[in-house]
Amino acid sequence: MITMPAAVLDSLHGLAFGDAFGDRWFGILRREGPAALAARTPPPEPLWRWSDDTAQALVLVRELADGDGSVDQDRLARRFAAAYAADTHRGYGASMHDVLRRIGAGEPWRDVVAGQFGGQGSWGNGAAMRVAPLGAWHAADLDAAAEQAARQAAVSHHHPEAVTGAVAVAVAAALATRSRGGPAPARPEFLRAVAERLPDGDVRSGVRIASRMPRRTSVTHAAAVLGSGSAMSGPDTVPYALWCAAGHLDDLHEGLWTTVAGRGDIDTTCAIAGGVIAARTGVTALPAIWHTAREPLPAIVPGQGPAVTGAAASGSVAPPCRA
């Protein structure tokens, strides 16, 4: 086991904040409608509970810690199944319930995953939602970030677009980590740099479209054009989440409020954006109420003790945010 880069914990905590914050909005929007978003009142305490996005990100970070940054697919599959069996009530998608139950029962994960949806595999956003900390881990080597992101994606998602979505998020988190301590990359250049690392397909096309959007593009328009996760697919989720992140690389708080305004699969888009932005900024600048409201994370690796809050451990600095 090697020392975990500080940016990995920053990214993990940003992902968890985005996940828990976004997840609370499903109920608020059903009860109160979009006016609640316009008011920008934080969800009520006491507990913003994180979902399967964070549960799987925790598993992935532990795998990276044990694998010196690399993914053992067989072991990761077993770990995902074990985490699911220990807590099935984290909002897993219907197909993932089936996949993880069958893997946990001993079926070969390759057969299970490849057999989903008539043999084409899932092209959902689950492989992308958990992967940002992996990108932070491999920030020094974008090829390794892309390779390991694809390896972890294949354990649950067979469809090439789901894999590409995970690669896009990992590369974005790696680029955000590389920029720590310096000026934030401009949104168009950042998104073009991500797209350059992706194979041709719908995810790449979406990221390229996002990179060409005018500076004054509204969140509503971006969500309508790119998709904000309503279809829960990689192509329908990742370009929008990265557009939100790329426009707020110095401000996690504003980035998450922007992301949630696009509606859709809110916990997942916010988890992706949060994981990417926090890889650069850390999370200490989030308002105090966020830190007390969000469900704590467990120990990342045995013997480590409770997971500390991102930038509080690394000393990274982010600009102050509004409550």
Position 45 in a domain: yes
Position 322 in a domain: no
Is the per-residue pLDDT at 269 higher than 90?
A: yes
Position 95 in a domain: yes
pLDDT-based confidence at residue 34 (cuts at 50, 70, 90)? confident
In terms of DSSP H, where are the helices of 182-251?
187-195, 202-211, 219-226, 234-246
| pLDDT the model gives residue 291 | 94
Is the per-residue pLDDT at 321 higher than 60?
A: no
Contact between residue 213 and residue 243 where contact means Cβ atoms under 8 Å apart: yes
Q: Could you report the per-residue pLDDT of 271-292, keeping only the tens digit for each?
A: 999 999 999 999 999 999 999 9
- Provide, rounded to the nearest whole percent, the portion of the chain with pLDDT above 90: 74
In b/e form, how buried is each residue of 293-308, taking b as 16+ CB within 10 angstroms?
A: bbeebeebeeeeeebe
Position 91 in a domain: yes
Listed in order, strand segments (DSSP E) in 25-79 are none
Sign, CA torsion 201/203/208/209: positive
Retrieve residue 152's tokens.
Answer: 């972890």
Position 119 in a domain: yes
Q: Could you report the per-residue pLDDT of 105-149, keeping only the tens digit for each?
A: 999 999 998 877 666 656 689 899 999 999 999 999 999 999 999
| Mean pLDDT, range 206-215, rounded to an integer | 98
Number of neighbouring beta carbons within 10 Å of residue 61: 25
Position 319 in a domain: no
Is the per-residue pLDDT at 180 higher than 50?
A: yes
Position 99 in a domain: yes
pLDDT-based confidence at residue 323 (cuts at 50, 70, 90)? very low
- Give the position of tokens 């946990």: 104
Q: What is the mean pLDDT of the chain?
A: 90
Q: Could you report the per-residue pLDDT of 57-67, keeping only the tens digit for each?
A: 999 999 999 99
For helices 6-32 and 252-260, give the axis angle rounded to 10 degrees: 40
Owning domain of residue 204: 6-314
For helices 252-260 and 266-281, give the axis angle rounded to 10 degrees: 170
Q: Tell me, what CATH number does 276's domain have?
A: 1.10.4080.10
Position 306 in a domain: yes
Number of domains into which the chain is organized: 1
| pLDDT the model gives residue 126 | 87
Closest by CA to 257, choosing from 246, 267, 241, 270, is 270
**Cα–Cα distance between 315 and 104 in angstroms, integer?**
39
More confident residue, 147 or 3: 147
Residues 6+ apart with CB under 8 A from 96: 52, 84, 124, 126, 156
| pLDDT the model gives residue 121 | 58
